[in-house]
Amino acid sequence: MKLQALAQFTKNQMFLIENNACLMTVRLLKYTIMSKILDVLKLHEKDIEKLDGDYRRNLMNSLSGFKGANLIGSSDIDGNNNLAIFNSVMHIGANPAYMGIVMRPASVPRHTYNNIKETLYFTINSVHKSFFEKAHQTSAKYPSNLSEFEEVGLTASYGAVHKAPYVAESAVKIGLVLAEELPVKSNGTVILIGKVIELEVDPTLVAADGFVNLCNANTMSVIGLDAYCEPKLVDRLEYARPGKDTKSI
């Protein structure tokens, strides 16, 4: 009956709503109604493929949960700085130290990707509550000759071993050199793996065992593409071993 109710709503009324000028609001309304009529939003492959593009993008990007919000700093061979927010930074290894980022397909100009390929160097910078709106603004499509640092009001700083810019306002700054590029054949994305060659971390965040408590710096995480969250540390637990109770560190 619930599915029939949804079908009836779609047939009799949706055409009236979809002619409204606020098409984005309509799309959200349509899927909100669908979610409320159904007890569980259950979709199969073909259902997912048929979803409205904006709705599918938001759904699939948020399903994987909380991710780190980081600013990637780079510059081209002429010294023009670029800054872009990413939610796809990943740990690759600790010894040797490698980190990776996922790049979308190069079907349109990708300034960060092009800069890294040209110069090999880039930086990863933490995003904090005090400037997350500015960090988000770097996702706007600025021309390559304009620096996002200047456009959004963040400060470029530099280390000793490469020319890629850091974000002065970030508590965690990581300098990397490109080590490997892995094409993802499934969807045309690319994983860039960088070797860590420089670190600058607020010492008040670093515990005696090396753990960096990002929560103490009001570091932001992100759900999907636009939902910013402030994580809270609940506990740190000891290394798990069979037959041993879990204990706090």
The owner of tokens 């409204």 is 20
Domain boundaries, the chain: 2-63, 67-229
Say what the pLDDT of residue 106 is: 73
pLDDT at 172: 98
Say if CB 122 and CB 179 are below 8 A apart.
no
Q: Is the pLDDT of residue 16 over 70?
A: no
Token output for 99: 């980190």
Per-residue pLDDT averaged across 25-48, rounded? 66
Average pLDDT score over residue span 123-137: 98
CATH of span 67-229? 2.30.110.10
Mind listing the pLDDT tens digit for each residue in 145-183?
899 999 999 999 999 999 999 999 999 999 999 999 999
Is residue 232's pLDDT more than 50? yes
**What pLDDT, on a 0 to 100 scale, did the predictor assign at position 12?**
46
Q: Would the pLDDT of 188 be above 70?
A: yes
